[in-house]
Structure 1
Amino acid sequence: MRTRTKLMLGGAVALTGLLVGLRLIPAGQAAVAPAPSRQDTARAASPASSAPLPTAATPGAAPAPSPTPTVAEAGVDAEVEALITVMRERYGARLDEPSVQIRLLEELMRYFQRKSPDRWREELLAFLQKAFPERYQELAATLRNREDYEKWVKDNDAYLRGLGEKERRAAMWDARNRLFGKETAERIWASELKNQAIADTLRTLDATEGATVTQKLSAYKQRLQEVHGEQAQAYLARHQQETLNRFLDLSSIQRELTQMPPQERSRNLRTIRQELGLDEEALQRWDALDQTRDARWDAGARYLAERQALAKEHSGAALEARLQEVRARYFGAEADIIAQEEAAGFFRFERPRQWGRN
């Protein structure tokens, strides 16, 4: 009985923590139910046969009060009510959008799979019925489609991995369209479609011969505007670094930047960043970082030249002793880190320089 009592009290403590965390009760009111008295424990532990038999109700007598729910029962109800409040606030006003429905269901799937691994689906559906009764049928159907799609991906994993990128993408879209309907599938995976459109554009730009950095940047910006429409500026603001890196990572852009004189390269890097939405303060920080990186790579090149010369004259402990001096002269406090990298076989300054990236 003591173990059962501890479990019930533990459930009350966990529930209180949840409600405080969700700000549904003030932290100062978080209290645990008092422990049962020794007499209460003794009565609860007595055999069922010792309890008095029920008697017929006396006519006119007041009805017996409803039994008070146990701590565990009250905890479950309060936890569900708290979760309903959170989910309605987070998703309720946007459930016309299929992608929002998917996010809601995936969040609830994670929650109920942790809470009840064997009965999670049954509990999730009961939750949807209580939290969103007017959308229950729609959400339940979306959940079934979501599960069917997940099973299809799992069952066809080996097949999909054996396909090329284009064929794999086509197979996955065929399954999505079949399970959700083409229009709904495109709304659910709208972000993926936009991202893929930009990736295809970058691939085409990278393969375009004769176009300058400026011309490719202009085409990239135009495509961003076409794909994101009225949300283009908001998208750039949220994904500034990602948008910039994807352009700088093009091999053709890196080749052109490598062939430029240092001052022209600096001007081009600044223009790229400015055109993709960075403000003057950010541009100045990048200018300073570029200068720091240039100095480090220059030091790295000189260090590698000295290292190669020393390796021709020394080996073993003698070589390492000389290299410690050279590293300290070029890299100061970072000398030990570079020594550890080289001991592991990594030579950072033998990597290709990625302008604007390292």
Structure 2
Amino acid sequence: MRAQSWIVLAAFTGLTMAGGIYIAQEAGNSDVQKRAQALEARQPQAISPHGDSTRQARDRVLELAVKYLETYGETIHNPSTQAQLYNERRALIDADPGNGAQLFRDAVETAFPDTAAQILTLMANLDRYHEWLDDNELRLQALQPLQRETELWQQREALFGALASQIWGEEASFLEEKSQRFQQAVSNLEESGELQLTELAHQLHTSAEEIYGSDMTRQFTGSGALGHALFSLDSVQSHLQQLPPDQRQQTITDLRRQFGYPEDALERMAKQDQLREEKWQNGNAYMEKRQDLSRRLAGEELESELNRLREEHFGIAAPTIAREEEEGFYRFERPRRYGLN
């Protein structure tokens, strides 16, 4: 430890022992006030003088320690509170690039001896996080809001682990609250049961804009999240199931167009829907033949015929289908969800 820091801490230890106050134990509002008062009452002669610069540095450390105690002392064990000290540190360094970092360290060690190591480690990780933000600023600005938010959280969790949700807890709670409101809006639309499909789509889009705003809603649309929410509604699926195939596909495309998908995206999604339809038709034909074989055959003969049937319908995917069936999963017994699977 540097000489300046040693002088401050040595004098601080002598004063607190003499006065019967142990500042290292952070607990409760009254204790915080007592510790702050003890620091404020520190007299210059209680610390061995080593010139004016040393006294000024000592006084500045004590001043900062009192401020940190009064402002953050009650909840200093919370990572979210500790993270708030980062702005204090940055302000010190900006004002005094040569000594600001050491002033902050000394003040934290003086005010919070028990948690100083934890706080300083957090400061170092926050430095890394902000360096990453600076290095990636232009790229992040070019991302859509949902992509940017995802990358930020991935980097936070990589650097801070489980602490990330505590440090940025208010932000996470804000997003979670929006998600819950949107899910409730979807549930309300499901329960209405009387709206036409175009009105359902309109209400869903309106709810998303009210909750998330226009920019985030456009991102939801581009990622497919808004369409997924619409086509997940049982009432929508019930209506689509009753339509002839050609009319069904046109209805799905019209609903997507209502959300603002561009024509080239609509064309790609329609082709994907057609591939899904062909897979389901092939899968349903396979299941009918499989059930017929299961009624007529058994044992090795049945297994041999099932292998042949799977190869006939699924080609190189036949072993995958066989493994799924061994585990009791039959993919074509799942509910068909038009526009989704």
Does residue 330 of the first structure (1) align with residue 313 of the second (2)? yes
- Indicate the residue corresponding to 2:197 in structure 1: 213
Residue 39 of structure 2: aligned partner: none
Shift of 1:185: 8.6
- Partner in structure 2 of residue 262 of structure 1: 245
Counterpart in the other structure of 1:294 = 277
Are the equivalent residues in 2 in contact too, given 1:240–1:276 (CA < 8 A)? no
Report the equivalent of 1:202.
186
Deviations 1:175-224 (A, max 9, x none): x9xxxxxxx99766322222122111100000112212111101111111
8 Å CA contact 2:83–2:123 kept in 1: the answer is no
Superposed CA deviations along residues 124-172 of structure 1, whole A, max 9, x for unmatched, are 434678999xxxxxxxxxxxxxxxxx9xxxxxxxxxxxxxxxxxxxxxx
> Contact 2:227–2:256 at 8 Å: present in 1 too?
yes
Structure having greater relative contact order (Cα 8 Å, sep ≥ 6): 2
Letter in 1 for 2:211: V
Q: Shift of the alpha carbon at 1:105?
A: 4.2
Correspondences of 1:143-292 after superposition (within 5 Å): 189-236=173-220, 240-292=223-275
Q: In the superposition, relative to structure 1, how do residues 295 and 188 fare at CA in structure 2: closer, same or farther (>3 Å)?
A: closer
- Work out which of the residue numbers 113, 116, 125 in structure 2 matches 1:122: 116
Q: Which residue of 2 aligns with 1:50?
A: none
- Equivalent of 2:297 in 296, 307, 314: 314
Change in 2 beyond 3 A, CA 1:125/1:278: same
**Cα displacement (A) at 1:338:** 0.9
TM-fit CA distance, 1:102: 5.7
Distance in 2, Cα, partners of 1:230 & 1:186:
22
RMSD: 3.7
Q: 1:235-269 CA distances to partner (integer Å, 9 max, x unpaired)?
A: 436x6322221221112111111112111211122
Write the distance in 2 (CA, Å) between the matches of 1:186 and 1:260.
46
Return the alpha-carbon distance in structure 1 between the equivalents of residues 83 and 267 of structure 2.
44
Shift of 1:325: 1.6
Q: CA deviation at 1:314?
A: 0.7
Counterpart residue type for residue 239 of structure 2: E
Map of 1:86-101 to 2, 5 A cutoff? Answer: none
Gap change, CA 1:335 and 1:129, over 3 Å in 2: closer
Q: Aligned runs of 1:15-30 on 2, under 5 Å?
A: none
Amino acid at match of 1:292: L
Q: Distance in 2 between matches of 1:236 and 1:127?
A: 37
Cα distance, 1:293–1:231 mapped onto 2, change above 3 Å: closer
User: Secondary structure of the equivalent of 1:278?
Assistant: coil
Equivalent in the alignment of 1:303: 286
Percent of aligned pairs with the same amino acid: 27
> Unpaired segments of 5 or more residues in structure 2?
1-78, 87-112, 127-161
Answer whether contact 1:303 1:326 (CA < 8 A) is retained: yes
The 8 Å contact of residues 83 and 122 in structure 2, kept in 1 or not, is answered as no
Shift of 1:103: 12
Opposite residue 210 of structure 2, the aligned amino acid is E
For normalisation by structure 1, the TM-score amounts to 0.49
For 2:220 and 2:324, locate their aligned partners in 1 and report how far apart those are by CA, in whole Å.
36
Q: Supply the distance in 2 between the matched residues of 1:236 and 1:304 (Cα, whole angstroms).
A: 36
Q: Could you say what secondary structure the match of 2:338 adopts?
A: coil
CA contact (8 A) 1:257 1:355 kept: yes
Contact 1:240 1:277 in 2 (8 A): no
Pair 1:236–1:348, CA change in 2 (3 A): closer
Aligned counterparts of 2:80 and 2:225: Cα–Cα separation in 1 = 25
Q: Could you say which residue in structure 1 is the equivalent of 2:323?
A: 340
1:60-110: CA deviations, max 9, x gaps? xxxxxxxxxxxxxxxxxxxxxxxxxxxxxxxxxxxxxxxxx969949x9xx
Say if 2:310 and 2:318, in contact at 8 Å, map to a contact too.
Answer: yes
- Unaligned stretches of 5+ in structure 1? 1-100, 109-118, 133-149, 151-175, 177-183
Other structure's SS at 1:189 match: helix
Which AA in structure 1 matches 2:117?
A: E
C-alpha distance in 1 between matches for 2:301 and 2:295? 12
Q: CA deviation at 1:120?
A: 9.9
- 1:169 corresponds to: none
